[in-house]
């Protein structure tokens, strides 16, 4: 900058010297030189002032740039944190949903296992009921045979025992009881039980009973 000022000054002086009259007094030359130096100094001061202004503006612009850079960085950070927070929330919700799905699948497997056990138990119960029903039918058949055998034995016993009183034969029908039979034949339950050697009032359909006729 100083070199340029000095060059400008020398050039001004040279121009002034070339353009001035050939005959000038030392006083005029000195005055002219002082004016030229003052003008140069003024220009230098203006340039310095402009430079200072430019430096100030550059500092202001640099400050603004740094401010905007910081603001942009802050906004980016806030936006990143915001998105990261949403991502974390979504991940948490996904984990909760996965846990719920796993629990539902486990519950479903448990229910299926229970249903399988219940099905097996129902099949076993059905088979057991079928066997029990068959056994009941067998027992009913055995009871029928026993009833017939008992009737035959009673008939044989009546034929073997001497008759102490006049009797007649009566075949037990559905709905009969000793009391009903005794009332029908005008006798007593005790006489019928005694004639038939009965220990209790139990009689069965088809059973042959001796009924006193007197």
CATH number, position 202:
3.10.350.10
From CA 96, how far away is CA 116, in angstroms rounded? 30
What does the pLDDT look like over 29-88, one tens digit per residue? 888 998 999 999 999 999 999 999 989 998 998 899 989 999 889 888 888 888 888 888
Tokens matching residue 82: 């915001």
Alpha-carbon dihedral 171, 172, 174, 178, rounded to 10 degrees: 150
Determine what percent of the chain is predicted with pLDDT higher than 90.
34
Cβ neighbours of 195 (radius 10 Å):
19
Over residues 179-197, mean pLDDT: 94
Verify that 176 and 209 share a domain, yes or no: yes
Verify that 97 and 152 share a domain, yes or no: yes
How does residue 19 score in pLDDT terms, banded at 50, 70 and 90? very low
Q: What is the pLDDT of residue 24?
A: 66
Residue 6 lies inside a defined structural domain of this protein: no
Phi then psi for residue 171, to 5 deg, are -95, 125
Q: Which residues contact 119 (CB under 8 A, 6 or more apart)?
A: none
Q: What is the pLDDT of residue 9?
A: 46
State the residue range of the domain holding 214. 164-214
What does the pLDDT look like over 126-160, one tens digit per residue? 888 888 788 888 888 888 788 778 877 877 766 66
Verify that 116 and 146 share a domain, yes or no: yes
Question: Can you tell me which residue has the tokens 């099905």?
Answer: 119
Verify that 109 and 143 share a domain, yes or no: yes
Element (H, E) at 212: strand 208-212
Residue 24 lies inside a defined structural domain of this protein: no
Label residue 210 left, alpha or beta by phi (over 0 means left) and psi (-120 to 50 means alpha): beta
Residue 152 lies inside a defined structural domain of this protein: yes
User: What are the E-state strand segments in 30-179?
Assistant: 167-171
Question: Can you tell me which residue has the tokens 């719920």?
Answer: 100
- How many structural domains is the chain composed of? 2
Q: What angle do CA 10, 12, 17 make, to 5 degrees?
A: 95
Q: 181 or 135, which is more confident?
A: 181
Residue 44 lies inside a defined structural domain of this protein: no
Verify that 144 and 190 share a domain, yes or no: no
Q: Which pTM value belongs to this model?
A: 0.30
Verify that 206 and 194 share a domain, yes or no: yes
Q: What is the pLDDT of residue 158?
A: 62
């Amino acid at each position: 900058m100083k070199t340029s000022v000095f060059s400008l000054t020398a050039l001004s002086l040279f121009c002034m010297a070339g353009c001035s009259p050939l005959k000038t007094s030392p006083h005029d030359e000195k005055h002219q030189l002082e004016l030229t130096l003052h003008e140069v100094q003024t220009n230098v001061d203006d340039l310095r002032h402009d430079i200072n202004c430019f430096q100030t503006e550059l500092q202001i612009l640099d400050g603004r740039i740094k401010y905007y850079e910081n603001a942009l960085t802050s906004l980016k950070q806030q936006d990143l944190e915001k998105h990261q927070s949403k991502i974390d929330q979504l991940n948490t919700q996904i984990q909760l949903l996965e846990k719920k799905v796993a629990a539902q699948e486990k519950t479903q497997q448990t229910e299926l296992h229970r249903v399988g056990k219940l099905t097996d138990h129902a099949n076993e119960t059905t088979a057991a009921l079928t066997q029990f029903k068959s056994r009941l039918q067998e027992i009913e058949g055995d009871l029928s045979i026993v009833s017939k055998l008992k009737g035959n034995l009673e008939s044989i016993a009546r034929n073997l025992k001497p008759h102490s009183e006049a009797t007649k034969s009566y075949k037990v029908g559905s709905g009969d009881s000793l009391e009903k039979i005794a009332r029908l034949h005008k006798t007593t339950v005790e006489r019928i039980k005694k004639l038939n050697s009965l220990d209790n009032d139990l009689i069965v359909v088809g059973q042959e009973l001796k009924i006193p006729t007197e």
